[in-house]
Structure 1
Amino acid sequence: MADTALSVPRRSPLSGAADRLAAATRASGGAVRLAELPFLAQVNVRLDAKGAAADAIALALGLPLPLEPNTVVRAGELTALWLGPDEWLVVGPPGTQQDVESRIRAAAGAEPVAVTDVSAQRTTLLVAGPRARDLLAHGCPLDLHPRAFGAGRCAQTTLARAQIVLVARDEPGTGFWVLVRSSFAGYLADWLLDAAAEYV
């Protein structure tokens, strides 16, 4: 019997916008840097933060789940985002979602924990450069001043009316991650390109 399965190469939601994002970055002279970070592993975790599973999962992943609202913990290649009192998003390099999910499940054992691979749900836009905060402030209702939303902070919010998870990265010069649903990625990229024209 002939194998009829077709191997379809993965396409990121913003594969068609990569050249325009790079051109805007060049045109701004580095004032803003825009790029897609496609296919990041994203695993949603729901559990009792005071239960036995939380410590076991932290040990298995090599990073504790943040307990302070709207904060981020990073260790090695993994980043954990606080989304709610019993909800986190663990973000890792592309292709690691199965490993992350299996490590969490194994560490949780019989404890009541919900683990869901949501990697295909969102893509990630990088917004960096000296004017990154100004650019985001055009369409985000949060106070993005470093005193209010500094490195290591995250929030579920909106940008240009699109629901996003915004992450202020803690490495020097790395700017922000904007995690947006794949279906809104093109719209948001167009909005960012339009708003970035001010800095060209």
Structure 2
Amino acid sequence: MRLFAALWPPPTAVEELDREVAALQELPDAAGLRWTRPANRHVTLSFYGEADDRARADLTARLGRAAHRASGPVPMRLAGGGRFGDHTLWTGLQQEAPDRDALRKLAAATTAAGRRAGLLPADAPPSFRPHLTLARARGRGPGVDLRPYVAGLEPFRGSGWRAGELLLIRSVPPTSGVPGEQPHYEPLARWPLGGGPGR
């Protein structure tokens, strides 16, 4: 099974973002992008890839400890936008310095958990860049000029919210064979940040 650790924004933050995305979808070439479903929008802390049951159990225990050691819920705000080349459009996170540090520490802890569970190479460089993916270019072609979309997101500032749970997510790939179908995300475990019982 394909696993990743993530934070999920609350419905109000997703609704605010949806209004911005609706305007972006009116721009030229928007049909050349595969837009992430609102229910799938999240902030990935660490992506682990394929894991068997034994590795998953080890990872689950380690992530629980990482969540318990966290300083508590992490304040954040979706804001602005950016791109990875001409293939991925995203919105970023606006945070004060202490909150940014807390998020980076949490991401580093989830990555360390993946390394110790044997799911990530020991020498993998840090790669965490806080963002929430909005769309990806369809197909394997040259991509889409995402600069107008990034410019459209520049003034966006969502309401502040506090990420209070760390989630371990299973990515279930689509099975219909329909082009552009997106995976289904299934929470396997969740823990409050800063202690308390997980579920």
In the superposition, the TM-score normalised over structure 1's length comes to 0.27
Larger radius of gyration: 1
Structure scoring higher RCO (CA < 8 A, sep ≥ 6) equals 2
